[in-house]
A and B are shown apart, each in its own frame.
Chain A
Amino acid sequence: DAGVTQSPTHLIKTRGQQVTLRCSPKSGHDTVSWYQQALGQGPQFIFQYYEEEERQRGNFPDRFSGHQFPNYSSELNVNALLLGDSALYLCASSPRQGVTDTQYFGPGTRLTVL
């Protein structure tokens, strides 16, 4: 049973550029959440997708956007990159939106903005 997968593993961008990160949820899961983890900090919730719609959003600017596809995979897009966007971006999947279920994390994508 494949777990949550993310691509790419590492990414280096320069300020002002745009980036797209990808996530495939665990088999049987239909809800995907994205988190940003700065060095030495706990993960911070960005947003959550279910049924191809953004259902919840954390305190992140509109430069952060996402998408969920019919196969439940998801993308995170960040526009106009800032140095402060350098972080580990984590994707987590859950089996049923709105139900008390655990979140399973992928390995993350390390984004470095120069």
Chain B
Amino acid sequence: GENVEQHPSTLSVQEGDSAVIKCTYSDSASNYFPWYKQELGKGPQLIIDIRSNVGEKKDQRIAVTLNKTAKHFSLHITETQPEDSAVYFCAAPARGGSNYKLTFGKGTLLTVNP
């Protein structure tokens, strides 16, 4: 099945700095890549996603880039704020491109220091 590797496992930045989280996947048939933010005691919240027909997508301070050749995608957060502190997960669909069976990375704990 799909294997998703996520790095780093923890990331600490100063408020206003940028943060980058990277993920690699194994199944070249995968065509949909969401990113989720999970705050303590809550369920994962979809923050941005990208499909394989585009290389980059941006939504205000958040952007995702996709390199299908290298099979990796990254989350970029600019002008970080303390409320960005949370665990971030990347995901990719299981083998065969089934978008309803997501395989998640192990998560990145982002801490934004005021």
A interface residues with partner B (beta carbon < 8 Å): 4, 6, 31, 33, 40-45, 48, 55-56, 58, 90, 94, 97-108
**Which of B44, B46, B51, B89 contacts A100, CB < 8 Å?**
B51
Contact of A103 among B31, B46, B51, B107 (CB under 8 A): B46
19 further interface pairs, Cβ-Cβ under 8 Å (given A90-B43, A100-B31)? A6-B43, A31-B100, A40-B106, A41-B106, A42-B6, A42-B107, A43-B44, A43-B89, A43-B104, A45-B101, A45-B102, A45-B103, A56-B98, A56-B100, A98-B100, A100-B32, A101-B99, A105-B36, A106-B43
Interface residues on B, range: 20 to 34
In the assembled complex, which residues on chain B have CB atoms less than 8 Å from the CB atom of A97?
100
Which residue of chain B is the closest to A103 with respect to CB atoms? Answer: B102
Which residue numbers of B lie inside 8 Å of A, CB to CB? 4, 6, 31-32, 34, 36, 42-46, 49, 51, 89, 91, 94, 98-107
